[in-house]
A and B are shown apart, each in its own frame.
Chain A
Amino acid sequence: MTNLEFTPLVFLLSALAGLLGALTGLGGGVVVTPALTLLLGVDIRYAIGASLVSVIATSSGAAAAFVREGYSNIRIGMFLEIATTLGALLGAFLATRTPTGVLSLVFGLVLLHSAWSASRSRREDVSGTPDPLAKRYKLDGAYPGEHGLQSYKVTRVKSGWGLMFGAGTLSGLLGIGSGALKVIAMDQVMRIPFKVSTTTSNFMIGVTAAASAGIYLSRGYIEPALAMPVMLGVLTGSLIGARQLVAARVPVLRWIFAIAVGVLAIEMIVTGVRKL
């Protein structure tokens, strides 16, 4: 295959991954790496390098829209970005020392978890005990709800922070946005309203990914000729997907997406185990 054939193929696959990622809320990065490695035989290190770059693009593109709507909480984001960026540095260093079989295996497990969480409907908001740390760091906030501004209190700040460090580590290790784990940390642990959690998570993903990007770059993981169609493709796909969010509310489609991601997950696990 020549570049004139390979590049458009990668672009189309990435656009599909971006579309799927936007519709499921998983992000394009988590789908594009299995697609590149399983279908095109790309080494997982080049794949995660390209995927990481596309994660920054979609996060920044989507965050720009969400920030205007007033849902994201810039202080929660910044406070937790200390955890995610430090985790991302650790993850990126680990990635350079981890055998590719283990990378595939861990990737498959994370993907499996993502498929599972995408197929579930979310928990309704329940408030917990407010955390004094939240007050100290001005994390409590308000967002535009159905009946005007609705205020919220943040709970279990330390646990949330710890989980965010883990999300950052996985992001750096696998070149993904770790959106699902970030949302769990905010929505379920810190009891931040779902809409605020998802938009703030999206906002944080770009900064987290940028923290491992420098390490990836210096280790030669970011191959420009491969990252080019991946970044442009995932960006295009996710922009189209963001306009089609209505479709994602149809339960049947959510299930189809979840199954597709689940199949990719199992393939990644099998590939990983074979290489061990």
Chain B
Amino acid sequence: MAWNDERLEKVVSTLLITGVSLSALVVLLGGVCFLVRHGQDRPDYQVFRGVNDEYRSIRGVLTATRAVDCRAFIQLGLLLLIATPVARVAFSMAAFALERDRTYVILTAIVLAVLLYSLIGPH
């Protein structure tokens, strides 16, 4: 079957559902874990301090999950969620390449570059 926009859209649709479902599941499990361990703690979000450093980067979150940190599990689920549209764009780029649509490969590459800069770039 040849690549066309219709087929691309169907695969993208499946990709999005999978990404969101998986992420929601991980967030939910992390959330249950958090409430079991920290249910009696008092939340304090009235004054902004910014979350601890380990929750601010992909590497930090992955390291913290190994220490069975519940909030890191939630953050991992949220990272999966953020990665879902990025995966969608990456996949679209590959599909446009298979369609031999050079203009759209370039346009999609620009979007992907912006997303990757935000996620892993130096800022």
Contact = CB atoms under 8 A, between A and B. Distances in A.
A213 B13 contact: no
**List of 7 A-B pairs having minimum Cβ-Cβ separation, nearest first:** A220-B50, A214-B118, A224-B74, A214-B119, A4-B39, A43-B48, A64-B16
A206 interface: yes
Chain B interface, >50% SS class: helix
A128 interface: no
B90 to A, nearest CB: 11
A45 interface: yes
A226 B24 contact: no
A82 B47 contact: no
Nearest to A224: B74
Contacts of A210: 82, 84-86, 115, 118-119
Contacts, number: 206
Nearest to A10: B43
Contact of B46 (A42, A93, A206): A42
15 contacts: A43-B47, A60-B19, A67-B16, A78-B104, A78-B108, A100-B48, A206-B84, A207-B115, A210-B119, A213-B118, A214-B82, A224-B30, A224-B72, A225-B34, A231-B24
B43 to A, nearest CB: 5
Interface string B27-58: 11011001100111111011111111001110
Contact of A220 (B41, B42, B51, B108): B51
Contact of A72 (B9, B71, B85, B103): B9
Interface of B: 5-6, 8-10, 12-14, 16-17, 19-20, 23-24, 27-28, 30-31, 34-35, 38-43, 45-52, 55-57, 71-72, 74-75, 78-79, 81-82, 84-86, 88-89, 92, 101, 103-104, 107-108, 110-111, 114-115, 117-121, 123
